[in-house]
A and B are shown apart, each in its own frame.
Chain A
Amino acid sequence: MIIQVENPVVEVHDLTVSYDRKPVLWGIDLTLPAGSLVGVIGPNGAGKSTLIKAMMDLLPAGSGYVRIFDKPIAEVRNRISYVPQRESVDWDFPASVFDVVLMGSYGKLGLFKRPRQADKDAAMEALQKVGMQGFANRQISQLSGGQQQRVFLARALAQNADIYFMDEPFAGVDIATETAIIELLRTMREQGKTVIVVHHDLQSATEYFDWVVLLNMRLVASGPAEQVLTQHLLEQTYGGKLTVLTKVGELLRKQEFPARES
């Protein structure tokens, strides 16, 4: 069940991504509709983080390509935003909440320029949206997990991008925060932005997302949420890894085989 759309915001074509020659994603082919909330769902180690990193060209592709807004990624960097997995940074870093949110403006500012008042206002506004305005001067080491997540979200909002990639924004967040965040994502969708979210909870997936991508080393399904979240497809996704695929991947790594012949 892989549904392709016309005029996609994201087009992934025959994408294979390997770590150390061993493919963890095989031949992904998908397109995502504009202005939608997209959920990327799959078991641990399925390659969800890998997929969104490869979509942003943070990892080299073994084969295939990705286009966003029908352009190569390098040309649309300033329209992309990213919310990394919370554990990916050191929260002991000497920075305040406001410092981190202000980073959202760095991409547009360019070299040597300092953030202006307008950028600071945008940062403040973003903090307000996630309900953290009272924490602007708080040190990031003194935040709870949910608050850290909201800070990352505010940073992405401050960037005012057109497409957002979020890696597990709901991990370690309580219900109230989760509801607040999803409300926020919905407003963003109303403004015509596209939000791609790596998500773990199947229960809430139907409710949250318009479009769902099921992933486990390969693309199992991609399409409207209600059509994709079926017993049958979920069983395929969570029914364990394909042993043959894993074994072939191991062989490629051991034998130092190229992903493509030439």
Chain B
Amino acid sequence: MNAFWIILTGSLVATCCSLLGCYLILRRMAMVGDAISHAVLPGIVIAFLLTGSRDSVPMLIGAGLLGVLTTFLIEFFHRYARVQADASIGVTFTWLFAIGIILISVYAGQVDLDQDCVLYGEIAYVPLDLWITEEGLSLGPRTVWTLAVVTLLIILYIVLGYKELFLTTFDPAYAAAIGISTSVWYYSLMTAVSITTVASFESVGAILVVAFLVAPAATAYLLTDNFKTMLLLSVLAGILASVAGYYLAVWIDGSIAGAIATVTGIEFMLAFLFSPSRGILIRKKQLQPVQH
């Protein structure tokens, strides 16, 4: 049963991360995703200190807000202080992440978070924290419920905003010309990314979540030319990695989240080499007859 809960948790994280990751990589904002996932850490710690629990709604909202604030801060440094764009990302997230780690050390006694958890989460402990109703009925792990709700929200967001997200990602200038607000969709997307990284934090930590955001989406991007298919494939790749990663971790007795990230990397490598349309080994074969 533990295996089931862990794999389910991994799959839920993979689903919402991969979906959003597709938009991030097409907007060339993968590193902004990386920055947000690091920068929510102080928000998580502060929310934890204030509310005393890990997966509460205030935590999701509070830490999520910090993620959006990060994008503002990056833009502020870039636009008003004229810091070079990549440096502005680098400075912002390392600074906020450092604050988060220091807060954890300072409040080590009061915060049930440690550095390991920050780095790679505690997906193995997810089944231990059960949601038990007042009648004593066990409804399964708390984290699964939180993640399920977040995943549903993300799917709803993408379904309802499908055409606007599609258009503002592909051609923002045209979108603006015909009256679709690019900044509304930009910031709502950043909010979604923030909430997702916060919700995933406990299971996979702040750094490995980047692998979930980027790798399955990049894999799917190499496999298809249809955006809807890309969304679906990325989710599939993410879920597959969760299953395979779990067993890999059990086999070599290491971190489950680390193993899942490793598998997403392997998936990408396979797509990179063997994708029917774009794999570099495949393409070479197709080209050969043309060469003299």
Contact = CB atoms under 8 A, between A and B. Distances in A.
Contacts of B230: 94
Interface of B: 26, 160-164, 166-167, 169-171, 173-180, 221, 224-227, 229-230
Given A94-B225, A111-B164, A165 B170 contact: no
Interface string A45-73: 00000000100101000000000000000
Contacts of A139: 225-226
Given A94-B227, A94-B230, A106 B173 contact: no
Interface size class of A (residues with CB under 8 A): 20 to 34
B180 A82 contact: no
Contact of B177 (A82, A94, A111): A82
A147 interface: no
Which 10 pairs across A and B sit closest by C-beta, in order of nearness? Answer: A107-B178, A77-B179, A82-B177, A139-B225, A94-B227, A89-B171, A94-B225, A56-B177, A94-B230, A84-B173
Given A81-B178, A94-B226, A95-B227, 13 more contacts: A58-B176, A58-B177, A78-B179, A80-B177, A82-B177, A84-B173, A88-B171, A89-B171, A94-B26, A94-B221, A103-B170, A106-B175, A111-B160
Contacts of B229: 94
Given A93-B26, A96-B226, A141-B225, A77 B173 contact: no
A107 B226 CA distance: 22
A207 interface: no
The main secondary structure of chain A at its interface with chain B is: mixed
Given A88-B171, A111-B164, A106 B227 contact: no
Nearest to B171: A89
Contacts, number: 80
A99 interface: yes
25 contacts: A53-B173, A56-B177, A74-B179, A78-B179, A81-B177, A81-B178, A82-B174, A84-B171, A84-B174, A88-B171, A89-B170, A90-B170, A93-B169, A94-B26, A94-B225, A94-B230, A95-B225, A103-B170, A106-B164, A106-B178, A106-B180, A107-B179, A111-B160, A111-B164, A141-B225
